[in-house]
A and B are shown apart, each in its own frame.
Chain A
Amino acid sequence: MNENHKEVFKEEAYELLTELETALLELEATPDDKDLIGKAFRAMHTIKGSGAMFGFDDVAEFTHEIETVFDRVREGDIPVTKTLISLTLQARDLIKMMLDRKGGEAPSEPALQEIVSAFRKLVSTDGEGSPATPPADGSSSVQASPPPPKQEISPNAQVTYRLRLSFSHDIFETGTNLLLLLDELRTLGECTVTADTNDIPYLDAINPEYCYTGWDAVLTTDKGIDAIKDVFIFVEDRCEIKIDAIRTDAEEDRRKLGEILVERGDVAYEDVLRILKEKRPLGEVLIEKGITTPDKVDSALAEQQHVKKIQEKTQAKEEIISTIKVPAEKLDVLVNLVGEMVTVQARLSQTASLLHSADLDSIAEEVERLTAELRDNTLNIRMLPIGSTFGRFRRLIRDLSQELGKEIEMTTEGEDTELDKTVIERLNDPLVHLIRNCIDHGIEMPDVRLSTGKPKKGTIHLSAVHSGANVLIKIRDDGKGLDKEAILAKAVEKGLAAAHAELTDREVFNFILEPGFSTAKVVSNVSGRGVGMDVAKKAIDALGGTIEMSTEKGKGTTVTIKLPLTLAIVEGLLVKVAEDHFVLPLSIVEECVELTREDVGKAHGRNMANIRGEIVPYIKLRNEFKILGDSPDIEQIVITGLNGERIGFVVDHVVGEHQTVIKNLGKFYKNVDSVSGATILGDGTVALIVDVAKVVRSVELTEAASN
């Protein structure tokens, strides 16, 4: 077991904690769900079990207490109550703190004790009702429980051991390879091994099938003494092992050879004192006088060196950490370089296929494979699914709604939509603000909801979808909606709008995003101070995104955050209209179908295609980009799915998938709406990346205008 395993365990434990949290929150809604109880129990059980295995003894111990309670919940002895769930959630947070102790604060012992005694109380009152349990809550921090264990050797502390191994002569008859055992020992940590060959007899007396050698080893490991013993588990009855821990504290002076030899019991203290008086090298004299053997002295010297090395290492090690923080620009440069590489690779592939050279082809294929891998890995460094962020809000919503006496359920969609890591991180705060607003202003109190014919429980729906080169994140609540008049009145009061200005809904709602704007009558600790929305807007702006509000009075509000895909590379569908190439983001492409002149004729001039009985509107890219010339007899429609609607794009040919390195069009073309970027193809020509959403909108606007 090494640090890596620990990290893996930690990751696993974090996942389990999230699972536990989810289960608990769901359990709150359906307290009788046996599956959920089982799920919560299993999560704790695994954390406990593996925790002990990976040296997180405190985690194991603490989790054990809660698991015990849940075991009884599982048996049906204890009912699932709000108190139980709240307590367990608190416990979950403490476990998390214990796990990431390295970075943050460790939970204090009283805090742990408090939870444990609260749990015990729960068991006693709901169970046998015996009063002989520790006092609850307040007094528990001073209760006469055994004092917390002193700062023990922390689980990952490096300890240096001295081992002396001697084997019975016939050890080889068990088929044991001792060198393998020494190798295994070396895998536990920094290890210095010296052989003691003193017992090897003269050649004429040697039995070649016997083992005469013993070994001394000095091992620095974080795996504990049991791991060392495990190495020798198969040979324990045919060998003698002496294991002692030795001090390697940096403050302590380096130990002298004599001290080590005395500690090992190889030399008597008096002998050392006597010889030291001779002022000659100790080792030499000891050997000369036959007090000890050269091997023993060498072994002690090796220990001395080993300890010195470890001390130096510990000092250096303090600066090493398991993750590397890299400035985002460095990653950007890397992503850019990979982008260039992809372009060059496309050229190579194209050239290779033109030259009809098998050798070159195979190289090109290899480069293609490697480039794809490189690209994926590079992008992966930065991409994270948004689900983990959504998960965090579940807790926020629960806690806040409880505080305000509202009942709110959260639903999510598109958790696996991946976004750039930095975007996700910086998205957290604005989302928190927006969700708080939903809870505070949006969702009504349960009785109000009932009286307006709505379900008692409000819903907040979080969703994330790719839309062209953007990601749309929506926060939708089914609350009372925005009050247009109130907002307008406030805007006038604040001097943001003229008293009788004619404003569109969107303009009115956008006032909410102004600094210091709040219509809340009571300032709660949740929201209403008018800070929040503008902060959220600023944060989204900083990410290059936009934020939009739409609302229906009495039905709810939807906040849509549109973020540009910061990805420099996307999978695209390469299509051709006349001689021009275009790229449609593959993520929104649903299918490609043919469009014949006959089909067009049947539609009587409307841009509608009948696809397996379904009417799908389409847009001709040829018209949109004003490309001259006649279209071929059979055209292709690329059907895209956009905001739940299917819209076709008519092109001449579909070329195929294309790894698209997005290049900015530059300032010059920043007002070109229908194109989100461009890419360079293998043969050097430029293909424009169609901003599908914008093209659709502009067509809609034109249509609306002409009607």
Chain B
Amino acid sequence: MSKRIMTVDDSTSVRQMVSFTLKQAGYEVVEAVDGKDALSKIEGSGIHMVLTDLNMPNLDGIGLIKGLRTHQSFRFVPIVMLTTESQESRKLEGKQAGATGWIVKPFKPEQLVAVVRKVLG
């Protein structure tokens, strides 16, 4: 069974690129537009991993990580943040909140797949 990954980003283009790349790599993908959307969709979704942007409306990435880490079923789910060079302090915040790893934008498709493989096997 292929693993299911949720990509959370308010930017449609990033979501699509991530989604396309992961599908190509053989993963199933669920999309969410922000942290709130993600939390509402994750229940019963059988997600194996979450890829989240940090800056998003409604609920941002840090909030989503915190939310998931206190969630009954997703406390140990791998979460990878999409960060940019300039977000060093946000990245640190994310790590403390319990993110598994991060990818610095811009990234190439193969880098994304490499990171997913790294945390998801």
A: residues with CB less than 8 A from B are 172-177, 180, 183-184, 233-234, 237
* Most chain A CB within a 10 A radius of its CB, from B77, B78, B102, B118: B118
A175 touching B121, Cβ below 8 Å? no
Q: How far is the CB of B108 from chain A (nearest CB, A)?
A: 14
A173, A183, A184, A237: which contacts B98 (Cβ < 8 A)? A173
Cβ–Cβ < 8 Å partners of A175 in chain B: 76-79, 98-100, 119
B69 is an interface residue with CB less than 8 A from chain A = yes
Instruction: Enumerate the 10 nearest inter-chain pairs by beta-carbon distance, A residue then B residue, closest first.
Output: A234-B101, A175-B78, A175-B100, A180-B121, A174-B98, A174-B100, A173-B98, A176-B100, A175-B77, A175-B76
Cβ–Cβ < 8 Å partners of B118 in chain A: 180, 184, 234
User: Per-position contact with A for B87-100: 1 when CB-CB < 8 Å, else 0?
Assistant: 00000000100111
Contact A174-B75, Cβ < 8 Å, known A180-B119, A180-B121: no
A177 touching B95, Cβ below 8 Å? no
B101 touching A172, Cβ below 8 Å? no
B95 touching A237, Cβ below 8 Å? yes
Q: How far is the CB of A227 from chain B (nearest CB, A)?
A: 13
Interface residues in B64-121 by Cβ distance below 8 A to A read 69, 75-79, 95, 98-102, 118-121
Q: How far is the CB of B75 from chain A (nearest CB, A)?
A: 7
Q: How far is the CB of A248 from chain B (nearest CB, A)?
A: 28
B100 touching A234, Cβ below 8 Å? yes
Q: Closest chain A residue to B49 by CB distance?
A: A175
A177 touching B119, Cβ below 8 Å? yes
Q: Closest chain A residue to B99 by CB distance?
A: A174
CA distance A180 to B102 in the complex (A): 16
Cβ–Cβ < 8 Å partners of A172 in chain B: 76
B121 touching A177, Cβ below 8 Å? yes
Q: Closest chain B residue to A172 by CB distance?
A: B76
A176 touching B75, Cβ below 8 Å? no
Q: Closest chain B residue to A236 by CB distance?
A: B95
Cβ–Cβ < 8 Å partners of A184 in chain B: 118
Q: Closest chain A residue to B102 by CB distance?
A: A234
CA distance A180 to B78 in the complex (A): 12
Q: How far is the CB of B77 from chain A (nearest CB, A)?
A: 5
Q: How far is the CB of A535 from chain B (nearest CB, A)?
A: 51
* Most chain B CB within a 10 A radius of its CB, from A173, A183, A233, A234: A234
Q: Closest chain A residue to B101 by CB distance?
A: A234
Cβ–Cβ < 8 Å partners of B69 in chain A: 173
Q: How far is the CB of A612 from chain B (nearest CB, A)?
A: 46
Contact A183-B121, Cβ < 8 Å, known A172-B76, A175-B76, A175-B77: yes
Number of interface residues of B (CB under 8 A): 16
Contact A234-B119, Cβ < 8 Å, known A174-B98, A175-B98: yes
CA distance A188 to B101 in the complex (A): 20
Cβ–Cβ < 8 Å partners of B102 in chain A: 234
A177 touching B75, Cβ below 8 Å? no
A173, A233, A234: which contacts B75 (Cβ < 8 A)? A173
Cβ–Cβ < 8 Å partners of B100 in chain A: 174-176, 234
CA distance A177 to B105 in the complex (A): 24
Q: Closest chain A residue to B92 by CB distance?
A: A237
Chain A interface, >50% SS class: helix
Cβ–Cβ < 8 Å partners of A180 in chain B: 118-121
Q: How far is the CB of B94 from chain A (nearest CB, A)?
A: 10
CA distance A173 to B98 in the complex (A): 6
Q: How far is the CB of B66 from chain A (nearest CB, A)?
A: 11
Cβ–Cβ < 8 Å partners of B77 in chain A: 175
CA distance A233 to B80 in the complex (A): 13
Q: Closest chain B residue to A237 by CB distance?
A: B95
Q: Closest chain B residue to A183 by CB distance?
A: B121
Q: How far is the CB of A441 from chain B (nearest CB, A)?
A: 54
Cβ–Cβ < 8 Å partners of A174 in chain B: 95, 98-100
Cβ–Cβ < 8 Å partners of A234 in chain B: 100-102, 118-119
Interface residues in B7-54 by Cβ distance below 8 A to A read none
Q: What are 7 A-B interface contacts by the 8 Å CB criterion?
A: A173-B69, A175-B78, A175-B79, A180-B118, A184-B118, A234-B102, A237-B95
Q: How far is the CB of A321 from chain B (nearest CB, A)?
A: 29
B119 touching A173, Cβ below 8 Å? no
A173, A183, A233, A237: which contacts B76 (Cβ < 8 A)? A173
Cβ–Cβ < 8 Å partners of B101 in chain A: 233-234
Q: Closest chain B residue to A233 by CB distance?
A: B101
Q: Closest chain A residue to B68 by CB distance?
A: A175
Q: Closest chain B residue to A180 by CB distance?
A: B121
CA distance A174 to B49 in the complex (A): 12
Cβ–Cβ < 8 Å partners of B79 in chain A: 175
Q: How far is the CB of B83 from chain A (nearest CB, A)?
A: 12
Q: How far is the CB of A182 from chain B (nearest CB, A)?
A: 11
Q: Closest chain B residue to A184 by CB distance?
A: B118
CA distance A175 to B95 in the complex (A): 11
CA distance A181 to B34 in the complex (A): 29
B98 touching A177, Cβ below 8 Å? no
Q: Closest chain A residue to B77 by CB distance?
A: A175
CA distance A177 to B100 in the complex (A): 9
Q: How far is the CB of B15 from chain A (nearest CB, A)?
A: 21
CA distance A173 to B66 in the complex (A): 11
Cβ–Cβ < 8 Å partners of A183 in chain B: 121
* Most chain A CB within a 10 A radius of its CB, from B76, B77, B79, B99: B76
CA distance A233 to B102 in the complex (A): 10
B119 touching A176, Cβ below 8 Å? yes
Cβ–Cβ < 8 Å partners of A237 in chain B: 95
A176 touching B78, Cβ below 8 Å? yes
Q: How far is the CB of B53 from chain A (nearest CB, A)?
A: 17
CA distance A499 to B69 in the complex (A): 104
Q: How far is the CB of A165 from chain B (nearest CB, A)?
A: 16
CA distance A176 to B120 in the complex (A): 9
Cβ–Cβ < 8 Å partners of B95 in chain A: 174, 237
Q: How far is the CB of B115 from chain A (nearest CB, A)?
A: 9
Cβ–Cβ < 8 Å partners of B119 in chain A: 175-177, 180, 234
Cβ–Cβ < 8 Å partners of B120 in chain A: 180
Contacts A175-B77, A175-B98 known; list 4 others, CB within 8 Å: A172-B76, A174-B95, A234-B102, A237-B95
Q: How far is the CB of A4 from chain B (nearest CB, A)?
A: 15
CA distance A84 to B101 in the complex (A): 48
CA distance A183 to B119 in the complex (A): 11
CA distance A176 to B75 in the complex (A): 11
CA distance A476 to B94 in the complex (A): 69
Q: Closest chain A residue to B78 by CB distance?
A: A175
Cβ–Cβ < 8 Å partners of A233 in chain B: 101
CA distance A649 to B75 in the complex (A): 77
Cβ–Cβ < 8 Å partners of B78 in chain A: 175-177
Cβ–Cβ < 8 Å partners of B99 in chain A: 174-175
CA distance A233 to B101 in the complex (A): 8
Q: How far is the CB of A256 from chain B (nearest CB, A)?
A: 38
CA distance A514 to B118 in the complex (A): 68
CA distance A176 to B121 in the complex (A): 11
Q: How far is the CB of B114 from chain A (nearest CB, A)?
A: 10
CA distance A234 to B95 in the complex (A): 9
CA distance A177 to B101 in the complex (A): 11
CA distance A182 to B119 in the complex (A): 11
CA distance A471 to B120 in the complex (A): 54
CA distance A175 to B102 in the complex (A): 12
Q: Closest chain B residue to A173 by CB distance?
A: B98
CA distance A234 to B102 in the complex (A): 7
